[in-house]
Structure 1
Amino acid sequence: MTTAVREAPHHRSLYCVKQFGCKRPECRSRNSAYSRRRYRQVGYGTWQPLTDAEPVRQHIAALRAAGNSIPRIQKLARVSAATIARIIYDGVNPRADRIRRDVAQRILNVPVQAAPTTPHTRIDGTGTRRRIQALVWMGWTFTMLGPHLGIHPRQLTDLARADRVTAATARKVADGYRTIQTWQPGNHGVPRASQTMARNIAAHECWHGPLDWDDIDDPNCKPDDGNRSEAKASTKPKVYADPQRVARLTAAGKSAAEIAQQLGCHQRTVVRARGRATQAVAA
């Protein structure tokens, strides 16, 4: 009967010697050097193999905020995924309060800088979200926007409210937006009723048009509501047309247009008032 010899997964640390009894000269030498250093420091009373994990945890959080993924941090620091998980996650097993000094130093040596952007990197979705909302504000429906942007309409409804998007999607929306914002929806096949529906959605959601943003990609930029406020302020108040008065003016031979001008209301308001007056007489 023979006994299978297990091979160590790597030879970068003391793991291969302690767990697999590795006989490589360089591994045995590294283990001997560690044992001698530990023996001396224990004798001097300076042996402190563990250190506080909180600074390392904060450093990992800063790296992730800069866009670095856990696998990337793991690769740069040359530590295992289990080590990272033990530091940052608090689940079935409590988070580590203390970790080895060499592990802490390797993680702290990773500089806090933005990760290189790839097409699949998830970035802030502010610019993408505002661009789609601005096009809907102009009267574009998701169904008509989809073919021009190269994105399925169902996905556009999600992107109009997304906080994070991929870099490829953000670039695709930005490229299409530069052209589409100069088009009139009616000239590119969007029916008038669909334009009205899109604008009503934008008004209900408090979305803004292209000219309301000084910097459409800046999350701290606030929309310019000046034009919208002025438009509301200049809107004429609704005028009630008294059916009896409209009936008297009609009997006097005045047309609906003349009555509307005299009362300061729309001609349709006069027509409705005439109808109410007729119904009152019939009753």
Structure 2
Amino acid sequence: MTTAVREAPHHRNLTCVKDYRCKRPECVARSYAYDRRRYRMQGYGTWQPLVDATPARQHIDALRGTGHSLPDIQCLARVSAATLARILYDGVNKRSERVRAEVSDRILSIPLAPAPIKPSSIIDATGTRRRLQALVAMGWTLTAIGPHLGFHPRRLTDLLHGERVLASTARRIADGYRIVQTWDPKAHGVSEVSIAKSRKLAARAGWHGPFAWDDNIDDPSAMPEETTPYESTGKYERDPDRKREIEHLYLLGESVPSIAKQLGGSEKYIENRLGAILRERAERAQQERDEAARSRQALAA
């Protein structure tokens, strides 16, 4: 009576030869290479097949802290889910205290860099909240901007106060925001009464318009950039570029078309002036940061 030979479930490591007596040439060659290496290292007195699992366990915890999931770590380290579980849940049995040296090396070789953001990743909702708040500060209602952003107003209400959000949702809001912030709410069917109510709501809540954030709208540590109150040009002074008026209206949440209509200029001119104003503000902010850095260096010296 002959005994049927069991087929190995895979041929990636030594298991197929040791447990299933696999005869594939590549598997046999891998087994012979392992044996030669083991004999050689035993002769040198450096054979150490198992090492302490603590460094690998700590590195896995650090990777999870940067946003990596266990399936991501499993793929990057080329180990099984059972191996990761055995390393993580120490104390269950003695096998969890030690791990193969090559497995530990592969885990420790994964760099501690932030995990790439996937559409299904859950991220901080600061940028999403600020974008919606900026649109409300401009005079938009959630009912009016819902179709333009692709969300129901009730969903926008949740996002307006949420702490975490899907990366795909944040991207959709950001894409729609870049377009809607250039529109005049009145020109898209929002009544003057609704615009006034939205602006009052934003003022009471301390929300800021698009101009206050520039490029740091997604930074949780960033503060809105405040400006000095608007002062009209004196009786015998000239403001040929109408810089103060343009800046004042934009800070109030007015769109480029609305500012051009109120001031009697072209939209292209208003865009150019706003670009110049933004560059000046960015330069001032950079100068302030540089000055603060120099002060810290002087104090440290």
Which residue does 1:146 correspond to in 2?
146
Which residue does 1:27 correspond to in 2?
27
Which residue does 1:81 correspond to in 2?
81
Deviates more, 1:103-112 or 1:163-172: 163-172
- Structure 1 residue 209: deviation in Å? 2.6
Which residue does 1:155 correspond to in 2?
155
Identity of aligned pairs, percent? 62
CA contact (8 A) 2:90 2:97 kept: no
Which residue does 1:245 correspond to in 2?
none
> Across the two proteins, how many residue pairs are aligned to each other?
228
* Structure 1 residues 92 and 56: alpha-carbon distance in aligned structure 2, compared to 1, 3 A threshold: closer
Give the whole-Å Cα distance in 2 for the aligned partners of 1:93 and 1:19. Answer: 22
RMSD of aligned alpha carbons:
3.7
- Structure 1 residue 5: deviation in Å? 4.3
Q: Mark the runs of 5 or more structure 1 residues left unpaired by the alignment.
A: 229-283
**Larger radius of gyration between Structure 1 and Structure 2:** 1
Task: Return the letter of the residue paired with 1:219.
Answer: P
Give the whole-Å Cα distance in 2 for the aligned partners of 1:134 and 1:67. Answer: 29
Residues 202-243 of structure 1 show CA distances to partners (whole Å, capped at 9, x for unaligned) of 456543332332421222211245669xxxxxxxxxxxxxxx
Task: Return the letter of the residue paired with 1:52.
Answer: D
Residues 178-199 of structure 1 show CA distances to partners (whole Å, capped at 9, x for unaligned) of 2322334344333456546545
CA contact (8 A) 1:88 1:95 kept: no
- Structure 1 residue 8: deviation in Å? 1.9
Deviates more, 1:1-10 or 1:23-32: 1-10
Task: Return the letter of the residue paired with 2:224.
Answer: P
* Structure 1 residues 84 and 213: alpha-carbon distance in aligned structure 2, compared to 1, 3 A threshold: same
Which residue does 2:245 correspond to in 1?
none
Give the whole-Å Cα distance in 2 for the aligned partners of 1:59 and 1:185. Answer: 51
Give the whole-Å Cα distance in 1 for the aligned partners of 2:136 and 2:2. Answer: 73
Which residue does 2:217 correspond to in 1?
216
Give the whole-Å Cα distance in 1 for the aligned partners of 2:4 and 2:153. Answer: 58
* Structure 1 residues 92 and 53: alpha-carbon distance in aligned structure 2, compared to 1, 3 A threshold: closer
Map 1:92-241 → 2, pairs under 5 A: 96-113=96-113, 118-191=118-191, 194-195=194-195, 198-199=198-199, 202=202, 205-214=205-214, 215-224=216-225
Residues 12-37 of structure 1 show CA distances to partners (whole Å, capped at 9, x for unaligned) of 11122233332323323433443454
* Structure 1 residues 108 and 220: alpha-carbon distance in aligned structure 2, compared to 1, 3 A threshold: same
Task: Return the letter of the residue paired with 1:220.
Answer: S
- Structure 1 residue 132: deviation in Å? 1.2
TM-score (norm 2): 0.59
- Structure 1 residue 70: deviation in Å? 3.1
Which residue does 2:258 correspond to in 1?
none
Give the whole-Å Cα distance in 2 for the aligned partners of 1:191 and 1:220. Answer: 35
Deviates more, 1:70-79 or 1:34-43: 34-43
- Structure 1 residue 56: deviation in Å? 2.6
Give the whole-Å Cα distance in 2 for the aligned partners of 1:176 and 1:191. Answer: 21
* Structure 1 residues 47 and 159: alpha-carbon distance in aligned structure 2, compared to 1, 3 A threshold: same
TM-score (norm 1): 0.62
* Structure 1 residues 99 and 91: alpha-carbon distance in aligned structure 2, compared to 1, 3 A threshold: closer
Give the whole-Å Cα distance in 1 for the aligned partners of 2:119 and 2:19. Answer: 41
Which residue does 1:241 correspond to in 2?
none
Q: Mark the runs of 5 or more structure 2 residues left unpaired by the alignment.
A: 230-301
Give the 3-state SS of the residue equivalent to 2:170 in structure 1: helix
Task: Return the letter of the residue paired with 2:188.
Answer: H
Give the whole-Å Cα distance in 1 for the aligned partners of 2:228 and 2:85. Answer: 52
